[in-house]
Amino acid sequence: MKFFKSRDVLNTALAALFGMTLHAQSAQKRVALVIGVKNYQYVSPLNNTLNDARDMSDALKAKGFRVIESYDPQTKRQLQDVIIKYFQLLESDKNSSGVLFYSGHGMQVDGSNYLIPAQANPQIKADLDDQCLNMDYVMRAIEQAGNHLNIFILDACRNNPFKGFYRSGEQGLNMVATPKGSYIVYATKPGSVASDGTGKNGLFTSKLLKHMIVEGLNIEQVFKQVAADVSTESNDAQRPWIASDYTGDFFFTPGTNRPYDVEPPTPKAYLVEDFSQNSRGWLESETEEYSFKFVDGKYRIKSKKGGSWFCTLPLSFNTNNDFEISMTLTKVDGTDGYYFGAVLGLNTLNGYFHFMGLTGWGNYVLFNKGPAAKDLITSTPNDVVQTGNAPNQIMLKKVSNTFKLYVNGKLMGETPHEEFFGDYFGFRIWSGEESLTVDVDNFIIKAIN
């Protein structure tokens, strides 16, 4: 495996590398992809789609799912990228159960269904395959993954917003071929449109959130209850529709006598990594320029000849909620004058990320390495950061609309909260033209009350 060095910004080739690390991870038995699109650039925004997506993501996490989240994807390419992530997780465990939830604009033209990203503006039919994602792409990915069960939930049957080139009868979505082991749920029957809702959630999603938490209802019972409620509340104007080629029995919420098919995750903990073993697939590699390896229960990163080195893995969690990210960093040897620490929310498409880190001289920093790069919290003279080769705990807390940076339990600075650029998290060391070796331990990301 190759790894890449960058002195100023990430090489675009990193995107391919970070994607490869997924193969080394063992997927959980319940995985999900949640996509919500609200803020369309060329048509009116939708009212509740992001609420629907975020609430569904939280509900699935509570049921033991590992969730990949994508909110307001701008382009077809971004939709494809998250579907590839989802596919790789499914493919890595054939016994996995998957849920793909999409809330946003969807349309059919000439019998083909399309999911519409935020920047799409098709003027003629020929634009569709360039700007929008054909649902056949998703179906082929699900079929190729070959896993146990795939539930595809489409709350996307709203009126076609691009009215210049489709026939008047082509409203809502068209029924698609159902791959083996799949369970496809439409918010309304083919050829009809769904309500965006008048409250916080769309009509269909509000009922799904209600019934998926009821103990002992299997998948068919859940969606029968959803369909009955939606039909009644809409005076039969909206009737959910199901296409299935799944013969098993699946429970979002098993009864008290039926165990989960996956151990529930540690409550409120998104990631707890003590590096006692490499179960997550962190890079292990050594070249003349760098090394990444596990040593004495720690993850050791070494820059042998200078430069900037990264290793990250994908992790999706709801960053609208309060959280904390912490780790223990120890400079083992090498230069004292350059930063090492945590990569926060790397976007592998454009190389943007946030970073919190330390130096051997006792400096600390939180910076934004985005299109307008800037330090958010900068170091002041202190006796809190242990200099030289001593261990330090560094922590970033998001509390309401504020980032708070702590070192060894002491608050070092505050700054307004900023959204992360992506969903890859890990480590970076930078050593100029010199060598630097750093150990990382106790990497934890968790929600806080």
Residues 418, 323 share a domain: yes
pLDDT of residue 12: 32
Q: For the chain, give the number of residues.
A: 449
Bridge-based pairing state of the strands 30-36 and 66-71: parallel
Residue 254 lies in a domain: no
Residues 188, 53 share a domain: yes
pLDDT of residue 166: 43
Q: How many CA atoms, within 13 angstroms, populate the side-chain half-sphere of residue 154?
A: 32
Residues 96, 35 share a domain: yes
Q: Where does the pLDDT of residue 19 fall: very low under 50, low under 70, confident under 90, or very high at 90 and above? A: very low
One-character DSSP codes across 258-315: S--SSPPPPTTEEEEE--SS--S----EE-SSEEEEEETTEEEEEESS-SEEEEEEE-
pTM listed for this prediction: 0.52
Whether residue 395 has pLDDT greater than 90: yes
Residue 134 lies in a domain: yes
Dist CA 21 CA 240 (whole Å)? 38
Bridge-based pairing state of the strands 424-430 and 340-346: antiparallel
Residue 73 lies in a domain: yes
pLDDT of residue 189: 58
What is the CATH classification number for the domain harbouring 383? 2.60.120.560
Dump pLDDT digits (tens) for 167-222: 333 455 555 556 778 888 888 755 455 455 556 888 899 999 999 998 888 998 99
Residue 252 lies in a domain: no
pLDDT of residue 177: 57
Residues 189, 334 share a domain: no
Q: Where does the pLDDT of residue 130 fall: very low under 50, low under 70, confident under 90, or very high at 90 and above? A: very high
Q: If you average pLDDT over every residue of the chain, what do you get? A: 83
Residues 329, 228 share a domain: no
Residues 306, 226 share a domain: no
Residues 124, 222 share a domain: yes
Dist CA 390 CA 336 (whole Å)? 12
- Phi-psi sector, 337: left (phi>0), alpha (psi -120 to 50), beta: alpha
- Can you tell me the mean pLDDT for 131-142? 90
Dump pLDDT digits (tens) for 356-369: 999 999 999 999 99
What is the CATH classification number for the domain harbouring 162? 3.40.50.1460
Segments forming the whole domain that contains residue 221: 29-244
Whether residue 134 has pLDDT greater than 70: yes
Residue 202 lies in a domain: yes
Residue 441 lies in a domain: yes
Residue 262 lies in a domain: no
Residues 218, 298 share a domain: no
Look-up of token digits 């634009």: 127
Residues 368, 292 share a domain: yes
Task: Count structural domains, the chain.
Answer: 2
Residue scoring higher pLDDT (269 or 196): 269
Dist CA 319 CA 17 (whole Å)? 25
Q: Where does the pLDDT of residue 242 fall: very low under 50, low under 70, confident under 90, or very high at 90 and above? A: confident
Residue 21 lies in a domain: no
pLDDT of residue 256: 57
Dist CA 68 CA 412 (whole Å)? 32
Helix (H, G, I), strand (E, B) or coil at 78: helix
Residues 199, 324 share a domain: no
